[in-house]
Structure formats: C-alpha cells, structure tokens
Amino acid sequence: MIRYLVASGLPAAELPPGCRVIAGGEATSFEQPWSFGAPLIARVEDDTHLSALKGKPDVTAFLVEGILPGEGQAFAIGAHKMRDAEAFKPYVAQVPGVIAPYGCRYIARGGVVTSLAGAFAPDRLVLMEFPNADAVVAFYFSDAYAPLLKIRHAATEPRFVLVMRSGALPQSARNVIAARLGKV
C-alpha cells in the first residue's frame, strides 16, 4: 500500500526526507474555503518519519493509504467531516459510476485518515487523479453529479480542492470555475 501525505502551508522543500511531491501546482477550492494554505500531495516512503510535522505552526497535514498514481495532470482532494454517515452511503455507492466517464482514477478512497498537524482533521479523505483540470471541472459541474453533490453537502462538512500536478490552472478550467462559482 502507498502512503500519501496531504499537506497545506508546507513548502515542498520542507517535506521530510522520503516524501516525493506528486501534485503541488496551483489549486482552487470549489466548496468551503481551503484556508490552510496551498495544498500539496506527496508520496511517502515506508520508512519516512513524519513526526517533525507535528506542532509545525500554520501547517495542516494528514496521511492516507492508496495505490500508485498514474500520469494524470490534475488531482482532486475530497476531504470531509461526516455529519451523517448513513445519509452519505448512497453517495459512496453511486459516485464511481458518475465520475468514471471523466477519466477519474481513485488513488485513495475512504481509508483511515491519520491527522499529523493542524486543526482540520477530516473523517474521510479521497484523492482522485484526472487526465486534466477540465475533466475535474466537467465532472463537478455535471448534471449527473448534481444530485450526488446535494447528498454530499447535506451529509458532510465538505471540501473539494483541485490541485494541478504542476503549474497553473488552464484558462479553460478557470473560465468555467469563474462562471459557476464566481471565483478561481
């Protein structure tokens, strides 16, 4: 099993030895503000010690297990605090079929989340890899996802963040986000 560190407020240069960034480009939140600083996703080698992250001011970090990433150029972080786990079950059952046409590949979904630093500690963390940012945007704002999004918003305190593997968000994705959310 692969371990992933999702960290915010921590420059890549300050990651502990044994952490390799897989996504640390420009990011934007689609829901509640991701107020913890720019997120990055790093693969963590088995013998890596992460205790140095504990107590770092202005850092939010958590660990989750998953599978190897592919070649996708955009990642989405779904981080949730659960309000009603029972009401969330239909979402969990239906979302894989809705998201598949957008080229999504789950690299971590529903495993144990270990909080390492910061005040925000999600109950559930999902890391999704997409071919590009436009696919993330198309999925999130699709008619097929709309009823599931309502379930997610009602059953959780949700956060959904798009993170580029590297570089800036493409203008096409920015345009749709701006039109739908009034921001980027």
For strand 156-164 and strand 74-82, is the pairing parallel, antiparallel, or unpaired?
antiparallel
How do the pLDDT tens digits run along the chain, 184 residues long?
899 999 999 999 999 999 999 999 999 999 877 878 889 999 999 889 898 888 788 899 999 999 999 999 999 999 999 999 999 999 999 999 999 999 999 999 977 899 999 888 899 999 999 999 999 999 999 999 999 999 999 999 999 999 999 999 999 999 999 999 987 6
Which residue do the tokens 């029972």 mark? 86
Q: Please list, in sequence order, all residues whose beta carbon lies within 8 angstroms of the beta carbon of residue 163, skipping any fewer than 6 positions away.
A: 23, 24, 25, 26, 27, 39, 40, 41, 74, 75, 76, 77
pLDDT of residue 184: 67
The rounded distance, in Å, linking the Cα atoms of 24 and 161 is 12
CATH no. of 2-181: 3.30.70.100
pTM of the model: 0.94
pLDDT of residue 121: 87
pLDDT of res. 157: 93
